[in-house]
Amino acid sequence: MDRFLSLLECSQLDRMQAREALKLVELALDECGEDDVRYPYLVAMEEQLLQGVVPRSRFSSFLLRFSQQPVVSLESEFRTLASELHEAVWCTSTYLELEAALDSFDEDGDELRLLDYLEVRREKILQVLQSYADTTLVAEEVTLESVVGHRLLTEGLECWLKALELVEVSLQQRDASWEGSLEAAERGNRLLLATQKLHLRVASQACSEIRTEGAVL
């Protein structure tokens, strides 16, 4: 299995003839049992190879799912980017709305108004999460960028949910200390903005590929 992954990582397997690739897939199948999470992926590859088709998209999906090295590298890059964002970038209108809601409570003690704000904000975040969860990707759409983008986006939204939860905890404990909530919201914003920048990179690369194809044609 290690050899199989190594060949995928250096892009050698998808350059092989179907017969050669089939031998390696069969060896990998011999090394893992039917209860192994990798087993159905290997079986699907084997079926295509038996038909003489080299399943390049399946190779890519398998590598992304079971080899963490490229994912860790890209994720680390964008987490670093998130941590280095200037306040003028991460301090968005959404963050300022949270800050304003907390400041208003500090001034007038209107708990109901603050709870209304928390409910509306939470509902919007949950709608985004649900919409994202309802989106399905085919194998060809599973890319390194989509895997990392998924992690950053979901973590960013979860940070915001945590920020709202911390406000509620402070209200229950009669302790108007908002530092933890604001820190969680800031982290959420940083991750969400990093996700946007990742998407912009993907879009830029796609446009570049289209221009290249046009030049060739």
Per-residue pLDDT of 3-39, as tens digits, reads 677 666 555 665 678 888 888 888 889 888 888 888 8
Which sign, positive or negative, has the C-alpha torsion 83, 86, 87, 90? negative
Q: Between 151 and 84, name the one with better pLDDT.
A: 84
CA distances from 169 to 72, 97, 126, 166, 180 (A): 34, 19, 19, 5, 11
Confidence band of 141 (pLDDT split at 50, 70, 90): low
- Answer for the pair 48, 139: CB distance below 8 angstroms, yes or no: no
Residues 108-121: what's their mean pLDDT? 96
Residue 203 has pLDDT above 70, yes or no: yes
- Answer for the pair 191, 82: CB distance below 8 angstroms, yes or no: yes
What amino acid is encoded at 4 in this protein?
Answer: F
